[in-house]
Amino acid sequence: MKGSAVQNILRFWQKIQPERCPCWRKRGGAGDTNTFYLAESNAILTHLAAKHNWDDVYPSGTRAGARINEYLHYHHRSARDASSMVIPIMRRDKLHLYPPDMLNAMRSNFQKCVETLETGWLARSAGGKYLVGDSLTLADIACYMELGQLQPRFANLWDFSHSNGGRMGEDSIEEGESAGGIATPKLQRWVERMSQVPHHDAIHSANAVVGDLSMYAGTGKGIGIDTIRKANVAFAQAVEEADPRCVAEMSNL
């Protein structure tokens, strides 16, 4: 792998999005006059799935596809708020953008999301194995992207056997409040099932490098930028080993 692959990616993000939001780019012709940029992971996923007929994970134009779209819209103020657990530890330089009342609201939203995944999405899905239907879809991929990082094998910030996160969830409960919540065995099995998806470990290699973050919870401390850089490099290397075409494309950004 070229040593500059990760740096090229970061420079690319900074060029097209001041907040460095990961984007997808389709190269244009001579002079890149027709280059197409697209931000937001769910928009990227659905665009690529529709363009390349990934009907197994996104059967657009069907009721199942409509349910997937329903989840992807629901996702933004639910599972996405899992980031409230990670931001204070991973990005302390961004804390001024997330005052305590906002983080508390995000954590509350996330707990409600965990309960809804258990009693709603997985309860009404065929066999309760996936969020929509009886097979993996973009809904599962988008959701697990947020939840998977928190589980004990990675950041260790949430125990998915219960909607209050077990001992990890207690750190985010305000004094005098009750953790409450419900047992979430369907969601716990779903998390375990998603960890068996092909190439899972390669995609989550950065999470493995970052490791257990529970030791930082509530301490006002976080990991350093060097750890984040090492995690990014580990991710690029692991993805290249899984499919060299991926990093070849990234190196040309």
Band (pLDDT 50/70/90 cuts) for residue 139 is: very high
Q: Residue 72: what pLDDT?
A: 97
User: 18 vs 22, which has greater pLDDT?
Assistant: 22
Band (pLDDT 50/70/90 cuts) for residue 134 is: very high
CB 121 within 8 A of CB 144: no
Band (pLDDT 50/70/90 cuts) for residue 4 is: very low
Q: Nearest CA to 159 among 199, 191, 194?
A: 191
Burial 37-57 (b: 16+ CB within 10 A, else e): eeeebbeebbeebeeeebeeb
Mean pLDDT of the chain: 81
Q: Is 14 exposed, middle or buried (0-12, 13-18, 19+ CB in 10 A)?
A: exposed
pLDDT over 70, % of the chain: 77
Cα(179)–Cα(166) distance, integer angstroms? 9
Average pLDDT on 224-233 reads 86
Residue 219 has pLDDT above 60, yes or no: yes
User: Mind listing the pLDDT tens digit for each residue in 20-41?
Assistant: 455 566 665 556 566 777 878 8
Q: Residue 54: what pLDDT?
A: 94
The second-level CATH assignment, the architecture, of 55-234 is: Up-down Bundle (1.20)
User: 248 vs 112, which has greater pLDDT?
Assistant: 112
Average pLDDT on 49-67 reads 93
Cα(71)–Cα(139) distance, integer angstroms? 6
Cα(10)–Cα(183) distance, integer angstroms? 40
Q: Nearest CA to 160 among 130, 181, 140?
A: 181
Beta strand 23-26 pairing with 36-39: antiparallel
CB 154 within 8 A of CB 208: yes
Q: Which two tokens mark 215?
A: 């030791």
User: Mind listing the pLDDT tens digit for each residue in 42-57?
Assistant: 998 999 899 889 999 9
Cα(106)–Cα(63) distance, integer angstroms? 30
CB 229 within 8 A of CB 4: no
CB 157 within 8 A of CB 212: no
> Does the model's pTM come out above 0.75?
yes
Q: Residue 207: what pLDDT?
A: 93
CB 189 within 8 A of CB 118: no
Average pLDDT on 195-199 reads 93
The domain ranges of the chain are 22-51, 55-234
Band (pLDDT 50/70/90 cuts) for residue 131 is: very high
Q: Which two tokens mark 18?
A: 């001041």
Task: Spell out where the chain has E strands.
Answer: 23-26, 36-39
Q: Tokens 């697990």 sit at which residue?
A: 144
